[in-house]
Structure 1
Amino acid sequence: MLQILQKTEEGGLNAGQSDIRGIGQVLWVLNFELLTDMHGDIPYSEALVKEQPKLDTQESIYTDLLSRIDEAITDLTAAAAAKENNCGEQDLLFGGNPAKWLGLAKAVKARLLLNLSYRDSGNLAKAKSAAEEALQAGFNGAELAIFNGVDADNPWTAYSWSRYYTGANGTVVDLMTERNDPRLAVYAADLFGTGIPYANAGDEDLAKMTETVGYPLWLENGAAKLHLFSLSEVYFIIAECQARAGQDATSAFASAVEASFEDYAESTGEDVGDAADYVAALGTVTLKEVMVQKYLAQTRDEQLQTYNDLRRCKAHGEEFIKLKNPRNIQGGQNQWPLRLPYGNSDVVSNPNVTAAFGTGNDAGNYLFTENIWLFGGSR
């Protein structure tokens, strides 16, 4: 990413090519957003230029990410108007189409603002506007469709077939069962005929064995697309912002669920029923149901943003999704991590990271007690 941006600077190979610069900024923001969302304070301003970079605060990182995504929107708006395409087939996502990258940039901005909404509720209205602008720009999802299931499988399928570590989740199954959700048939498919729909159900010892537990049918499809950013997430952002503001979220909610149904069907090749009938059966749209349906939609392959949503709602004192894994309970308390630890190589080789992670008996203990800055913590 750094090299992409450097090449667009004056004197660089791609100087003056605003489409490439805009694409580089979007990729930069997506990658560093993921890192800081998972870990909190991380090396950032010195990350790609020093061997032992300092840690920047998450607050300062998010300020820069928002600035960069705005720069990307400016660059891609100009590139789309000029119909620039300096990437062509080298762009595996959109074929170098700057208009499609512009839609993605606005969707990414909406997510950033939503993540920031616990710190400043005023960001909810901004997130809604950015998401609506993404749709107006023609955003229809950002999906990697580079796998054919013959010569190459997508990573989720490859992992499932090589390890057999993946199974349906009981929390998801219970939520779908309560709602008579037709997606359940493809989420917890009993391909092995054992009658065990998900892990830790029935005979626990049997559930731990390979080729016993039900699991998502899309893992059988090596050609299934992978989301960089789904269309349903954009609609769910709008629906949540509306619900939190006491506005009618019916339309955005219905569109979000419909997009999820289409995604489930496309990724599995199965009929998952009619989204409109399902939405009608759910009744009045509430904030809780928005978050539950977003959780079910993102079960496909967007669990990182699910983790953000769970922590953000928890910071608000909301528990719309009750996680039930008994393995998290230690000493009578749920040891569900509020953030992820730094990598071992960083902890060992960078004293700045070592200091943040801690040493001795205190090493890593904060993972279960301290929120990241986004959700009320200090780092």
Structure 2
Amino acid sequence: MKLKHLLAGAAMMFAGAAGAQDDPFKVGFVYVGPIGDGGWTYEHNEARLAVEEEFGDSVETVYQESVPEGPDAVRVMQQMALNGADMIFTTSFGYMDQTVEVAEQFPDVLFEHATGYKRADNVSTYSARFYEGRAVQGHIAGQLTESNIVGYIGSFPIPEVIRGINSAYLHAKEVNPEVEFRIVWVYTWFDPAQEAEAARALIDQGADVILQHTDSTAPQAAAAEQEGVYTFGQASDMAEFKPAPRVSSIIDNWAPYYIERVQAAMDGTWESQDYWGGIDSGMVEIGEITDAVPAEVRESALALKESMGSGEYHPFTGPINRQDGSVWLEEGETADDETLLGMNFYVEGIEGDIPQ
């Protein structure tokens, strides 16, 4: 008998026992970093706690932190399912194939995968339009920098990260035509030592504003060692570093989505879907813009946020060219979601190649 049949049979036995005892609905969470990272995983765990608070004794949550993307993730998901999880949230892009694999083995378990694009009858995907927050950050960064060099710490060269770089650059360039972006790829979501080293390297190259798509507060701490360097919180507020170097942040608010999807699963109304929330839904929030930012810049940044939230403005509105100078978006044309989800190119003005 194949492994997936054995596992599915075991899952049915666990589900039957749970039903007989009228146990609480069990929800598992698989985290790529530690819950104390101060960023990405911290916010996912805050949403898990919100689920517990919302449903009380009718829901039980379990989690595993610092799970590497790969075979270890498969084992963790399998164990959660075998231990009676009715629903599992897998919260990193690199869990995509593993989520689909385990979901096939456990057809009665519902899976929600963050930031991926592969679905099945029992696999749904969800993500946030982080690029909207990056537009606000770029707008501020372009006006804060005195060296005209903005540093960007990239995690992995996947569309989610590339979208953010492009959005931040376009909006920095709009307010400061002289601005340059320097990008360092660290090939990790969470490695404080490596993130700090990348921040220091960018500062050594002249960057006086640092953006990051990594999960720890280490770049904030590294920037705090240098006077006149500004940073932005990533995924959570990173408020311990304000009013400077952290001058604002992107906050990922997963709680409403998690509560809604758990409720749907318990009601029997859950269906597989692709969900992409932004400023309009509250999934992307902009943390306090501190007094380290001039008042007029703060006001214009908030106006930009409001225009995206209302749908009046799209961060990728033409004319925009690709890095090689070819036309991507004509005057007034906006990017469609399909193109954004597969974005694998820099826009015109960004130097360097995207690693393969």
Higher helix share: 1
TM-score greater than 0.5 by the shorter chain: no
Structure 2 length-normalised TM: 0.29
Higher strand share: 2
